[in-house]
Structure 1
Amino acid sequence: MNIFNTPSVLQNFIWQNRMFYIKRDDLLHPFINGNKARKFKGLLELDIKEKILVSYGGNQSNAMLTLSYIARLKNYEFIYVTPPLPEVLKQLPQGNFALALANGVKFEFYKPSDKRSDVDVLRNRAIEISNSYNGFFIPQGGACELSKIGIKDLALELTKDAKNLKNPAFFYVSGSGTSVGYLCNFLPSIFTIAAAGDRKYLQKLFQDMKISQPPTILELNTKIPFGKPDFRLLKIYQEWLELGVEFDLIYDCLGLLSIRENLNYFDGRDIVFIHSGGLSGNITQIQRYKNKKLIP
């Protein structure tokens, strides 16, 4: 099943007095796009016997939403394990949670007996459910071997896109980090930043993945806690909107900020920035900015 508008286009823009080449993976599909479209391409090509997907994670996860669309397309049941909802989301479902709910996701709001909401506890519960239903288990964020298929396609496209560029540097923001790790198997000169974890987390991940040429990991002058509204990210979001491109406020704006603070890494090189998609997440994130009075 191929539903994607591939290859995605490479567009050039001037930002920070530099030419940026944006790989528009946000345009791959109206609902399934960006990093998750690449990651789950292999899943779309599979025929799962029991037609049951099981995964886990946060209630605004981009992976959750993408899996909900895939389940709907392929007429699968999708069970998703997540911590109990905050009261405001119970009363008024919004963002990715509301969209996934509309796609028919069966949520299990799991509260461990020891009152932890640790990711490992959610993972173990999802595995239990998957085993009991003989379902197809997908780790948080789609961090599994299956994602190699779509990432290889991305690498082949980028190789063609960049054939006339000057010593291209490819930038891909890390969530779980697996997509970036797999991309390193197919392309040189990968740069990234840890959105959810930190440098040590990524270094260990790439070591465990046995990546022979790991990416260059950039860091911010002042770290921004994951998902926390920050005026620097908002400024980048607004600047790119004026240029005609919307980026998500959690991942890609963070990546662009890290480039701006580390432009010396890219002297004499063309910058190719791979759009991560996930723009539906901006709905709830923009509301958080409004709550913090960062947006009127």
Structure 2
Amino acid sequence: MLTNSRTDVMYFTGRQVHIKRDDLLHADFSGNKARKFYHFLINDFPGVSHIVGSGSAQANSLYSLSVLAKIKGWKLDYYVSHIADYLKQQLSLSSGIRSNYSQAIKNGANVIEIDWSSNRYHACHHLDDAINVLKQDCLRKSNFQETLFIPEGGRCEYAKTGIYILGKEIVNWAISQGINKLSIFLPSGTGTTALYLQEYFVTQAQKTTLDIQVLTCSTVGGDSYLISQFNELSSNSQLHPQIISDGNKYHFGKLYLSLFQLWQQVLDSSGIEFDLLYDPIGLNVLKHAIESGELKDREILYIHQGGLLGNATMLPRYLRKQALTKNDSVKINR
């Protein structure tokens, strides 16, 4: 269950790129969230009746946690900095849009906007700070043992369980294909998947003669933020994946038409639909790395990020922006 996703091939920027199809793991658990939450799915947590998560209201983790809570019979409180009006509008019966947010609500998730004006959060600057306040509140209550806090994006040591399985799958696949030099690439939010994959290859796969490197890029907050996330999970820099860049700093959830056009080109040429939050940035950075010759003489494995349910929110936004841009261009040409 939730293992052994297949590997497909697509041709990208003149190169053959292998695609680890983690988007096909399961209808409700896919991509990196399936790997990171695997530990919670397969293990028992006696006494736990309530989980607390946090992140973006359109994040894949919100939906995956809502499914996990539903399966386990747990209550889910998911804290966010803000819920955009267009997400709230999706809850109307007439919209019919299946997004991470709408489906999580349908599964019983309690999505809570932080009230930043409250004295309770007066010293908080980020969502993580607010969650720490909530943890302290919970510690003072007698039912603390019933509550399980899952860090944003599954950034915790428990994520190793599923990610190590992913690492073993990749090793077995590479051996079966006769691949000796392999560059694994995936875009990062918190960097949890990339870091634990690198850790697996350094510490667990030493018996093989494979030359495997894990490459990643930042999609949230820039490279310095990503390095800080790595350091929270492991202070050993030898276990950190290599961060590569196309020279741009991206803002999470912001619309970039050039990335959308690349996403469309890949969909048309390969028939593979990628996520619209993380994968377009990842594909652009990979394109830059290929064109610069960084990956010469190495096979490339791209790990699909899953989370296609989120495209129900992102795609209409991109199409509106694309239409507005075309209209503005026509006005200027006139």
Scaled by the length of structure 2, the TM-score of the pair is 0.82
The answer as to 2:22 corresponding to 1:28 is: no
Cα distance in 2 between the residues matched to 1:219 and 1:294: 29
Partner of 1:234: 260
Residue in 2 that maps onto 1:68: 66
Aligned residues: 293
Q: Does 1:152 align with 2:164?
A: yes
Structure 1, unpaired ranges of 5+: none
Which whole-Å CA distance do the structure 2 matches of 1:294 and 1:223 have between them?
25
Q: Name the counterpart of 1:119.
A: 127
Partner SS state of residue 218, structure 2: coil
Q: Describe the superposition over 1:66-90 as per-residue Cα deviations: whole angstroms up to 9, x where unpaired.
A: 0100111121111112234334433
Shift of 1:129: 6.1
Q: 1: distance between equivalents of 2:150 and 2:237?
A: 22
**Deviation sequence 1:91-131 (CA, Å, 0-9, x none):** 43362111100000122322122497721333224425654
Contact 1:56–1:126 (CA under 8 A) maintained in structure 2: no
Residue 266 of structure 1 is matched in structure 2 by 295
CA contact (8 A) 1:231 1:294 kept: no
- The structural deviation recorded for 1:223 is 2.8
RMSD, aligned α-carbons: 2.1
3-state secondary structure, aligned to 1:13: strand
Distance 1:201 1:225 in 2: 12
User: Contact 1:80 / 1:126 at 8 angstroms: preserved in 2?
Assistant: no
Counterpart residue number, 1:216: 242
> What SS does structure 2 have at the residue aligned with 1:20?
strand
Q: Is the deviation greater in 57-66 or in 117-126?
A: 117-126
Q: Which amino acid aligns with 1:229?
A: L
TM-score (norm 1): 0.92
Q: Deviations along 1:212-251, whole A, 9 cap, x unmatched?
A: 2422211123333222111221122112212111111221
Tell me, in whole angstroms, the C-alpha distance in 1 between the residues paired with 2:84 and 2:135.
Answer: 24
Unaligned runs of 5+ in 2: 92-96, 202-211, 327-334
Q: Partners of 1:222 and 1:254 in 2: how far apart?
A: 10
SS in 1 for 2:77: strand
State the identity as a percent: 32
| 8 Å contact from structure 1 (residues 59, 82) kept in 2 | yes
Q: Which residue of 2 aligns with 1:103?
A: 107
Distance 1:115 1:51, change over 3 A: same
Given candidates 245, 270, 274, the residue that maps to 2:272 is: 245
In structure 1, the partner of 2:57 is 59
- The amino acid across from 2:108 in the alignment is G
Q: Which moved more, 1:114-123 or 1:88-97?
A: 114-123
Structure 1 residue 282 and structure 2 residue 311: aligned? yes
- Greater Cα radius of gyration, structure 1 or 2: 2
1:8 aligns to 2:5 (yes or no): yes
